[in-house]
Structure 1
Amino acid sequence: MPTSFVARLGSRFIESTRMWLVIATIMRQSMRSLFRFALFNHAIFRVIVRQLYFTAFQAIPIVCLAALLIGSVLVDNLLNLLTNLNAYDQIGSYLISSITHELAPLICTIILLLRSGSAVLSEMALMKINREMDTLSMLGIPIESYLYLPRILAFAIGGPCLTVIFSMVALLGGYFTLGYFHDITFDNYIKQILDAIHLANIIPLVLKPFFMGLVVVLIAIEKGITVRHAFTEVPIKLIRGMMHTAGCIIIIEIAFNLV
């Protein structure tokens, strides 16, 4: 029994180490392509634009709907609590902290994971099984520039952009749906929000979804290209990828809260 436990523990450690080594290699190769200005290649630039469209632009309606629903409930509850306590000067700081620091990056990352992360994993796995990656290599097309870099940039750019959109819709839409029932005017509400916005509030709004988006796409690519034989491996890889991504998101969340 102890031997079996140690064997399983060692196997998982080796698998985890191998996964992070592959991710580090993907990131290193992609950054090398970026610093070589590969994105200015016409074909690669078209792929980047297409990935941004699929990853970020098409996700805007879902993000706005989620922001409107969650923002309405949160703004209503916070305004109800703070106005009853006559803590008008705390409205902006509480809303900025709860929406832009916590909810917006987390929910946008979950949307990216469920919508685009799974698509990237399946796409990479299908290309690996059909030997399309081998074909690209034989044609002299660098995989890191044509496949990895556009998807990494799409998530790294799309994550912060969607988070900003979520925050704006949640703050403004939350007031117009349920917030105006409370004893606070729109001018005062906006003033409280603007007074609470500082550089220290903007940094996590950008950096947190940036790192979370990188984690999602890098794990998705790694799981996709490590599929070996059949497409039936994809559901297993998808589950493992989501578990690893969830763990990394928790670590990023804890790190930003500590900082």
Structure 2
Amino acid sequence: MTKNMEYTWRVLLMVYLSLRATVLDQTQGARQIVRVISAQIYFTGWQALPLVSVLALASGSVLVLQSLSNLSKFGGSQMVGPFLIVMVLREAGPLLVALVVTARSGTAVASEIGNMRANREIEALEVMGINPLSYIVFPRVLGGVISLLCLAFYFNFVALIGGFCVTKFIQDMPFAFYAESLMTAFSLDDFWIFLLKNSFSGMIIFVVSCYQGLSVKKSPTEVPQVTTQAVVNSIIFVIVFNLIVTALFYLNQLRNLGVL
């Protein structure tokens, strides 16, 4: 427990130092930082669209088909919207997108920075007066957060709309009724949960990956080890964070209902 707390504090300290370095360090201009952010968004967001599309369409089709078929049997077709909002937008969407980004981009960031560390490229940046935290860490974290938010929005859209189009051939339901059910079920709380889960999941993934990459000492053989550790820690932290947010939300719902 003490080791985990120490690890968490070190990661949080790196976040603070990277933000501070980005604000105070003027050795490289904003153009270079924007270039690194754009490259990270292109790799993490744009190039991941085919994989996210397939995953969203498959999971959305299964959830839409199950909700339409099972709820219709009990005359609960009006509950289709609330069920899908909870399953796709609140729970499954943030977690699945975070796992895809972790497996695809988190590993790439950790191995890239680890190799830079092993090849002493980071030391070369420091010799040139460039702070690695502002040039390497901050752009990747910011680009990763933006990418994950965009991917999560895209995932929800494809899962809810594309999934309905796929199951339209199996289960007959008017699209107007389906769309109205979704819009009625969607609330401001869902928006804040979407923003909170996905933004912090992106931050967790890329901060942990950058930290693990920077933890490489000298040997290139450490790179696969820190990459594996980055994936494991990112998945654990993301799942725990999602569970905490979900638990707090539903405890607050029960308190508002007077159950607690």
Partner of 1:6: none
**Among 16, 23, 30, which residue is 2:11 paired with?**
23
Displacement of 1:159: 1.4
Q: How many aligned positions are there?
A: 247
Secondary structure of 2:221 counterpart:
helix
User: How far, CA to CA, are the matches of 2:117 and 2:243 in structure 1?
Assistant: 35
Aligned-residue CA RMSD in angstroms?
1.9
Partner of 1:53: 42
Partner of 2:217: 228
Are 2:95 and 2:239, in contact at CA under 8 Å, matched by a contact in 1? Answer: no
Are 1:75 and 1:174, in contact at CA under 8 Å, matched by a contact in 2? Answer: yes
Are 2:22 and 2:133, in contact at CA under 8 Å, matched by a contact in 1? Answer: no
Q: Which amino acid aligns with 1:41?
A: A
User: How far, CA to CA, are the matches of 1:180 and 1:96 in structure 2?
Assistant: 22
Secondary structure of 1:231 counterpart:
coil
Whether 2:207 is the aligned partner of 1:218: answer yes
Q: Deviations over 1:27-77 (max 9, x none)?
A: 002222454597971111111111111111111111111100111111101
Q: Which amino acid aligns with 1:156?
A: V
Partner of 1:77: 66
Q: Deviations over 1:157-197 (max 9, x none)?
A: 11121111000000011111114532421111111111111
Task: Give 1:106-255 correspondences, 5 Å limit.
Answer: 106-255=95-244
Displacement of 1:127: 0.5
- TM-score relative to the length of structure 1: 0.89
Are 2:25 and 2:131, in contact at CA under 8 Å, matched by a contact in 1? Answer: no
Displacement of 1:103: 0.9
Partner of 1:3: none
Residues 232, 203 of structure 1: alpha-carbon distance in 2 compared, 3 angstrom cutoff: same
- TM-score relative to the length of structure 2: 0.89
Q: Which amino acid aligns with 1:109?
A: A
Partner of 1:102: 91
Are 1:79 and 1:179, in contact at CA under 8 Å, matched by a contact in 2? Answer: no
Secondary structure of 1:213 counterpart:
helix
User: How far, CA to CA, are the matches of 1:172 and 1:214 in structure 2?
Assistant: 28
Q: Deviations over 1:232-258 (max 9, x none)?
A: 112222222222222212211221112
Are 1:72 and 1:179, in contact at CA under 8 Å, matched by a contact in 2? Answer: no
Q: Any unmatched runs of 5+ in structure 2?
A: 249-260
Residues 37, 82 of structure 1: alpha-carbon distance in 2 compared, 3 angstrom cutoff: farther
Partner of 1:64: 53
Q: Any unmatched runs of 5+ in structure 1?
A: 1-11
Partner of 2:32: 43
Whether 2:3 is the aligned partner of 1:32: answer no
